[in-house]
Structure 1
């Protein structure tokens, strides 16, 4: 035992030294002596060729060797983009958040917010396709909310940005997605006999997403849920509002909520 411990410590010391040398150029490192500009331009070329992993490694070397200056700042954004294109959302978000925190007044902040919204936006498609197949009380629309918040921040802070118009379009889609989610939740509760919970989700939908097509179905959900609960006054009030705003509504017809068109954002 006495001989093993010193040998182990010696090996551990070697490992630490090797790890410490990993971020510095080695004799066989083709990038040895490269300027920050050359590292950045080469990384961008690899990015253009969709070699995202190689591009990211070059950007990481740039940051390690030249931690100050415009190339290092831009490298953080390019790393985020590489992770986004490589479908690595967690790494992309981490890189964007690091950039935003480190460079609060950077001239590319509008792009950083746009990219932050895009990363979460891509997750919304999977979210929408899954919510009708799972326990709705256990689903979390966090990606849709995060994406909406990032786009909203962009539009409010940089209304003249080249990315603002597209962000606004995506915000409209996300609002519809979140309203659809609330309708799914209400239907889930209703089918399981949790009528008060169903009515409350319908009410929340109306109050929170008042400019979406799902409001009509949200009102109908309140009507049928209050009817099941024997709350006739609340039922009649909800029905009155429904018919006043949607005189030709078909939402109270049997099996209406089995119509899949109500479970899409638009």
Structure 2
């Protein structure tokens, strides 16, 4: 039974938190409103370094709105994008990143911006990633993860000397494994429903598009079982041979 007293209490807490956040933002702006743009930016940087991202965002947003073409504008935008990412405000971070890339095609830190786009998409996709089949927003989450993979790949190809290359490579592996794992979940779901042909199709997708992932062996194991259930000994033998080759040594 729903506890309405608890719901009212929870609603009050949410409203109070929102009110406190708004007050904090207003207080932050009032505190630095008389300072020069440079001093206000330094205040925002101090907040960033202290991991007080939302408070930093308040100042950075205000600076960007007041001085969109000033000498600090590009650095303010870069720090704002980073703060939005760190605070989990991904739906705000992505448009800011895309706008920066469009307006600054030759900026010296585009490697970082492209890398940051990958981080945002990765968090957006994988933090909400559905571990088990059946969640309604799983496809949307997967699309963000695929975008992240593309972002990291693009950054590596365009900026091979970037300091972010090695981390981008490791994140690509993580994204690839998670995407392949999702396909396995679907294949397992189909197996549980005796939809063996559909299960094989998903496993073939893993072998074709995620052949460098850690899902190859499990996909082959499912294929062996599915072909056995379907009464297809030749295809089962082929899958067993490929499985043996992938597990040898």
Q: Could you state the TM-score of these two structures normalised by the residue count of structure 1?
A: 0.73
Alpha-carbon separation, structure 2, partners of 1:41 and 1:143: 33
Contact 2:125–2:143 under 8 Å retained in 1: no
Counterpart in 1 of 2:173? 172
Counterpart in 1 of 2:47? 46
C-alpha displacement of 1:211: 2.0
- Deviations 1:197-238, CA, capped at 9 Å, x for gaps: 100111110111112232112112222212222333322222
Alpha-carbon separation, structure 1, partners of 2:86 and 2:121: 13
Contact 1:77–1:95 under 8 Å retained in 2: no
Does residue 131 in structure 1 map to residue 123 in structure 2? no
Q: CA RMSD in A?
A: 2.4
C-alpha displacement of 1:131: 2.0
- Deviations 1:137-184, CA, capped at 9 Å, x for gaps: 862222321221111111111111111111111111111111211111
CA distance 1:240–1:82, change in 2 (3 Å): same
3-state SS in 2 of match to 1:131: coil
C-alpha displacement of 1:185: 1.3
Contact 2:44–2:56 under 8 Å retained in 1: yes
Contact 2:84–2:92 under 8 Å retained in 1: yes
Contact 2:173–2:213 under 8 Å retained in 1: no
Query: Which entry has the higher C-alpha Rg, 1 or 2?
Result: 1
Q: Which runs of 5+ in 1 are unaligned?
A: 1-27, 249-266
Counterpart in 2 of 1:208? 209
CA distance 1:228–1:247, change in 2 (3 Å): same
Counterpart in 2 of 1:105? 106
After superposing on structure 2, the runs of 4+ consecutive aligned residues of structure 1 that deviate more than 3 Å are 28-36, 123-128
Count of residue pairs brought into register by the alignment: 219
